[in-house]
């Protein structure tokens, strides 16, 4: 029964999903494409219902209205009962004969299933419509119910995904001010969220600077990257080799369960001297640009987390950023910006040298990544000002 309380609760949940005004999402478009083909109907929709309006997430034709009064819709009936609602001839059914869809659009067949969230609250519908009356068999109803369950999972996944996206975006490092130095970076996910993470923190006498790349893409890699970032932050007061050694056992356990590994460049800058102490666990995509125009690629000497032999200590490295020097650290997706070889890292360094500013350089990276990359792309820059 569609009561005032249920309509209010439904409206609140639909608002929490925050997808009503978003562009059509492929996860829903795919479902309605399959529904149209499977049942050989003209139209199929994924709709959300609030207290007064029906909102379609999948308009079928250009310019189609994406919202309308709930009382004008067929799907108001679907929300009132748990199973499928099937109307073989809408013009012959007194519940629908006077609806605008029958008179103005010529809709003569309707079938829909409610979409429910936890608590069995119907917040929407997956429906089929056609311009000719037709029968709908029990097998058809069962198939429509299965598609409805798929749609519910897509809604729930979208809710979890949006929350994850908020968390991942919140993990982006905030701008910091270190006298005599510039820190900046950009991460361009191949999908919606990235398995790369870059980070920096500033203490009184040191700057911790990190870039990690989790094998894989999307949500699992993003979650592992977020966990690794948090673990390293907990040990920000340690030297890099000690910090990585401290997080390695638990991190490798998590990575092993996910059949993944992580390359990590974790460093600590002493601003007064320019000395950078670091651990490179399988990363190897570090370019030291010298003020005199030369450059050196710093390669890794250890295996990634998740592959590093148990009990074998990580090796520490160090370099000095002289005035005018810059350190570029990139994920392997950045190699897609060039020919895919390590020489691309040198080309990225030349692009930075030619750029009018670090911000302009990172915007170039973003544009190239969006056009060419087939993996997450992260590039971070640590530069020492010239005297």
Tens-digit pLDDT profile for residues 102-121: 988 899 999 999 988 655 66
pLDDT of residue 50: 79
Q: Is the pLDDT of residue 153 over 50?
A: yes
Question: For residue 22, which phi and psi values (nearest 5 degrees)?
Answer: -80, 155
Q: Which pLDDT band, with edges at 50, 70 and 90, does 19 fall under?
A: low
Question: For residue 175, which phi and psi values (nearest 5 degrees)?
Answer: -60, 140
Q: Are 141 and 84 in contact (CB under 8 A)?
A: yes
Report, as an integer, the average pLDDT of 63-72.
Answer: 79
Q: Is the pLDDT of residue 230 over 90?
A: no
Question: For residue 173, which phi and psi values (nearest 5 degrees)?
Answer: -65, 145
Taking the whole predicted model, whether its pTM rises above 0.85 is answered as no
Nearest in space to 162 (alpha carbons), one of 22, 258, 58, 10: 22
Domain 4-166 has CATH 3.40.50.1220: no
- How many angstroms separate the CA atoms of 251 and 200, rounded? 19
Comparing 10-19, 132-141, 303-312, 360-369, the range with the smallest average pLDDT is: 10-19
Q: Are 358 and 184 in contact (CB under 8 A)?
A: yes
**Can you say whether residue 37 is alpha, beta or left, with left for phi > 0 and alpha for psi between -120 and 50 degrees?**
alpha
What's the pLDDT tens digit per position in 138-149? 999 999 998 998
What's the pLDDT tens digit per position in 209-218? 999 998 865 5
Report, as an integer, the average pLDDT of 269-279.
Answer: 96
Q: Is the pLDDT of residue 283 over 80?
A: yes
- How many angstroms separate the CA atoms of 213 and 282, rounded? 10
Q: Is the pLDDT of residue 350 over 70?
A: yes
3-state class (DSSP) for residue 138: helix
- CATH top-level class for 171-384? alpha beta
User: In which residue are the tokens 């299933």 written?
Assistant: 113
Q: Which pLDDT band, with edges at 50, 70 and 90, does 162 fall under?
A: low
Domain boundary assignment for the chain: 4-166, 171-384
DSSP single-letter state for residue 312: P
């Amino acid at each position: 029964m569609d009561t005032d309380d249920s309509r209010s609760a439904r409206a609140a949940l639909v608002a929490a999903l925050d997808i009503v005004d978003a562009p059509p999402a492929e996860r829903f478009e795919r479902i309605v494409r399959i529904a149209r083909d499977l049942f050989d109907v003209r139209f199929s929709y994924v709709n959300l219902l609030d207290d007064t309006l029906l909102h379609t997430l999948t308009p079928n034709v250009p310019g189609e209205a994406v919202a309308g009064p709930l009382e004008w819709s067929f799907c108001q009936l679907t929300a009132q009962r748990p199973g499928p609602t099937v109307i073989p001839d809408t013009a012959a059914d007194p519940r629908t004969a006077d609806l605008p869809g029958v008179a103005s659009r010529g809709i003569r067949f309707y079938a829909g299933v409610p979409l429910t969230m936890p608590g069995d609250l119907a917040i929407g519908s997956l429906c089929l419509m056609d311009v000719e009356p037709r029968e709908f068999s029990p097998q058809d109803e069962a198939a429509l119910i299965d598609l409805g369950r798929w749609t519910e999972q897509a809604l729930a996944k979208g809710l979890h995904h949006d929350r994850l996206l908020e968390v991942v975006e919140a993990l982006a490092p905030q701008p910091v001010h270190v006298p005599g130095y510039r820190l900046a970076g950009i991460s361009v996910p191949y999908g919606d969220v990235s398995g790369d993470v870059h980070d920096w923190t500033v203490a009184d006498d040191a700057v911790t600077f990190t870039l990690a790349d989790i094998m894989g893409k999307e949500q699992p890699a993003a979650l592992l990257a977020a966990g690794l970032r948090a673990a390293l932050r907990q040990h920000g007061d340690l030297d890099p080799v000690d910090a990585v050694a401290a997080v390695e056992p638990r991190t490798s356990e998590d990575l092993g369960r996910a059949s993944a590994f992580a390359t990590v460049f974790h460093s600590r800058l002493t601003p007064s001297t320019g000395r950078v102490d670091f651990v490179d666990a399988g990363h190897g995509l570090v370019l030291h640009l010298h003020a005199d125009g030369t450059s050196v690629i710093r390669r890794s000497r250890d295996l990634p987390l998740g592959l590093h032999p148990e009990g074998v200590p990580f090796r520490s490295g160090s370099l000095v950023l002289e005035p005018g020097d810059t350190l570029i650290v990139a994920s392997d997706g950045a190699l897609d910006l060039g020919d895919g070889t390590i020489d691309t890292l040198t080309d990225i360094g030349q692009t930075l040298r030619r750029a009018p500013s670090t911000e302009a350089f990172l915007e170039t990276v973003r544009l190239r990544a969006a056009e060419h990359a087939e993996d997450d792309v992260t590039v971070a820059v640590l530069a020492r000002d010239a005297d």
